[in-house]
Chains A and B, each alone.
Chain A
Amino acid sequence: MLPSSSIWSAASSSNHSVEEGSQGHAPVITGHYSWPASAGQVAVSWNYGANNGPLENATSSSSGDHYDPLRDSTGSEGAHFPTNSMSQTSASSNLSATNGNPAYAGYAQYPNSTYSYGYGNMQYQSNYYSPQQANYTSYQQAGASQNSGASYQPHSSFQNTGSYATPTSYSGTYFASDHQTAAGCPTSGYVNQTNYWNDGSGGGYPLQYANYPSSDTNSAPSTSNTTTNSYSYQPECNQWPINYGTSVSNVNCTPGPGSMVSSTVPTATYPTQSANGSYSYASSQPPPPGTTSWRGDLGLPNLPSSQAQNAVACYPSSSWEEKAPTVQNYNLNQIPSDLQKPLDLKLPLFENHDANGKTTCSYDPTSSLQVFPSGQVSQIPQQPLQAISAMDASRVSKMQIPTNPRISSSLAVGVPKVDKEGSTTNTATKPAYLSVQVPKLNNQLSSSDDTDAVVKGAFPPSVRSYAERCFSRCKDDSQRDANKIILSEIIAKAKDDSSLWTKNWDMEPLFPLPNSNSNAADRNILRSTVLSTPKFPGRRTKSRWEPVAEERMDIKVAQVNPDSTKNVSWAERLAGGRIHENEWNSMKLPLPQPPPLNKTPQRPLKKSRFSDISNITENGNSSSESDKEQELTKHYSSAIALENSPEEKKRREHRSKRFENGQERRTDGKQFKPRAAGVGNILRKASAMLLAKSYDDQCSRAVEDINWNALTVKGTSQEVEKRYLRLTSAPDPATVRPEEILEKALYMVQTSQKNYLYKCDQLKSIRQDLTVQRIQNELTVKVYETHGRLALEAGDLPEFNQCQSQLKRLYAEGIKGCQMEFSAYSLLCVILHSNNKRDLLSSINSLSNAAKQDEAVKHALAVHSAVSAGNYVLFFRLYKAAPSLITCLMDLHVEKMRFEAIKCMSKSYRPTISVSYIAHVLGFSTLAQTGFDGENGANGHEDCEEWLRAHGAVLIVENNAELQLDAKASSSTLYMPEPEDAVAHGDSNLAVDDFFTRAS
């Protein structure tokens, strides 16, 4: 438990990432295993993850560690990570997770295809891919996941950085901004590092770490890597892509070297690590310690024992809780794996895998925290931890645990259930752990240590971790007993075959728990009680996962949604998943029994609940956590209330206590959000998995050949009305509306009597749903046209421009709409609001002959000639004769035109001009052509007089009592007044701000 907890804590920041990673791994492995399947899949996925994931996980965890230290040192920045305890951490974890996903996908593919290759290669490739994928998908897939992360600002930064994907996310667009906002450089830097880690995974770890610590320590591991890392640090988000590239290159170089590095480095690195660790501590930079630990890991393959020791040593010295723990975890993970699979030539890989698996495990926990109900989270973490390393891990965990307190706090939030279940599970799992040899060690760490020692003697650490995994799934005693029996059988069998030491236990699928169903039911009850389910009636029957699709994803989704029933279904699905796993196993390593999925199902369920809640409250939570956004939470007040309810708090506390060891605290309060993000992440992971699977199926396939359609979200929401919220994670199908609903929504907006701000909000959410589902048809055009018109009406030029550019693209694709109308608008925009002659030329030049016959276009061209000649009379005639929307567009130019005209008049007219004439010519009379007499004329007259005075004109009254403009006197006194009412024209942002301040 200790190890696990420590891992968790480390992971906590990266929890999401872990999840994702795990998912991603799983997908990779199985292709589709979504992370919910994780329980069943977990084992497999972990292993995979280990391959691919390790890097990511490591990165995430490492990042988390780093972060923590940072927090300590930097305070605010550090806060992101360190503070993680709150939502931020969770967010960060999400981010990392998201990041991880893309990367994972890439990894997964690679691993499968290139398994034989060294780590470096795999990682490298995967990284490579992930960026590409991101690019392709731009939004939804990898990008989406990242995006989601991004939205939570603090988190987002992390995510972005973390996410490998960051590159992708960047491409995706939204996210980039988020990244920046979030944390800024430090986080990004971390992320970069993490990325490196991933890249380097094979041999890169040490190097990367080295970077952190500063050149001194780094020098030992590998200069090149370090240098690159350092780069990444500073540049922040922007650098990501660069980092990517560099990292990739590094990776390429390292593939072989990776192993080399690990082997060679260990000795050198160890000392460095220790040194680094100390450095880092001093500096308060978590990364160094992490790096050191990593190095240790690297070294581990060669010298497992030494590594373990090193790791241990590092930890104490580091004393940085999170960092050290994570490091340790890694080390531990690696070590066990090493031990287990020294035999294979691929040892380095294996080790990595193991490490990955460990990391992934940790991820899973984290993910569970976020995504799943709290209970799940805790469980998951434990499992991973356990899986990671029995003995070493345990030590490490101990070490870590003390440090983790922060994390634990964060964790607490996420895991109300976790406490009870988790506690049970934890204890259970740990005992299970022990049970392998020492059945019941309630004391988490201490006992684990002892057990570890025992275990070490008799079993390879991987077996221990396997056992841990198995037990971690158990939620009650009966299960545990069953588990114990089966496990002992398995181990006995393995002993008989003498495969105990050769088997890749990390890859071993977990056997199904016989009692799983009944257990599941029990568990459900437990959970419900624990979680105070009443509050969270399974609101959403639809799983977010559904969109992800096909195969396992669907399964998972279904599982997630159907709370109580889900368990069963889960098991079934898990079984399905297992098959995949088996495939994986067959591909990579011989792995026997699919383990009990019980816990996994449960976890998913819990998570699903949470996710539901979180979904509901998503915004609210996140916003609530960030004080600024609290306003938004009002919308989700109910959800928030749930969160804030005493019970919730209690749970959180429980969790936090439990996880004090773990790094999870980061997520704590905010975990809710993270969870939400986690869900998104899961989706993304799922998509990543799909990708991975496709890769698996066809390793040779080019990225271009990926069937992105299969990854497109299909909405299931039936709500017509939906507030716009910028996506910060992969879209949740449950909140995305399908086309027919969107049509209704559009109609609703069109017929709504509410104000523009409301409509704009609604239309944006419609646009988002369309984009997310990649719907591009006449409905899309209609939506953009409607929005464009409304924006014009409201003088919201920025929004109009957005619509306009989308429409241009859509029209160019041959989708029908009111093209003429909008080309007239765009022409007017260029004429009136841009001074670029070339733009004007090209837009006139691009008009077809048919377009030139169109009334609106003709009108626009006439406006152009009036403006170009300065013919104000013509301009205001056109202004009056214009269709209403064009009037709106011209409105924005009226002031300028009038001022120009009055300057002209006062220079050319002598001695006077009557104000009524000016009012007539300059369009002050509201009704066309009637300006000279009648009431309208009078009105226009007054307006005009007011306007003239406001602009410094000299007005005199002549003998006939008619007001006149003294042209000569005015010519020197005219001026353009400061626009007091800029808001009235166009600056809708101000209007929106105004709206919100009033609303709040």
Chain B
Amino acid sequence: MTTFPSASVFFQVLINGVLLGCMYGVAAIGLSLIFGTMRIIFLAQGAVMILAAYCIYWMATLSPINPFFGFLLILPVFLGLGWIMYKGLFQKVAKAGANPSLLLAFGLMVLLEHVMSLIWSPTTRSVITSTSTSSLTLGSINISVTRLIVAAVALMATALVFLFLKKTMLGKAVRAASEDMSAAALLGISPTYVSAVTFAIGIALAGVAGVAACITYPFDPFFGFLFSLKALIAVAFGGLGSVGGPLVGGVMLGVLESMSAYTFSAGWADAVAYAAFLLILILRPEGMLGRRSIEKV
């Protein structure tokens, strides 16, 4: 056990945890959305993230475009990609049940990982930006500029998805479908259309998370799976199927990890995170923010 020698160290660890958590959060929102309407655990989320990371890497090495523009560029491209993925792969399989969908997601993950390592080779890559290692200093606390940008993007992405679900007709349809698909179908909402839209948004969010990851960390084709796992935990923390929940869940996970890495040992940080995850599952299966009604029978 190490205790915090001063308040500033405590805040430094806390802020780092929050910033790290925002990264998990972006990855988790897409996962949660897809789960909400389609009831599948989209294991390939991490692999899709890394695909976006490689696209940015390519863009940054081959052209003088600033990697930060990647956020704007990736969004439409991955929306399209998500749409195609749903129409080409998941629409048919989803009808057969959620189990094959899980398998399909797994197959997609394996395929993407190895195609990426074939195209870009399995060596570690990274994208250097103008802010790569710069930091702001507040008193004795240092805050990474890149991670601050990532946190801002995470907040913006959450807000956008939230607005979309609350304010637009399509968003309302998505929400209705995620509450009760058959009732929504009775109201004239086309389930496939809604699912395709949700899936596309989920993939686009994975793309955004990928851009965020690649400007912060070095990556390789197999880097994504760990993100998938962490995002899964973040989703469980926040409650399956909600929007704000995963972001809060991600932040909780990030804080928990960096706090336990400081006070215990970094080697135990993952175990602490998983244990908290199990506890929350058992005590509050609907997540810290979820509504009680979901799993009541």
A and B are partners in one complex rather than unrelated chains: no
Residues of A within 8 A of B (CB): none
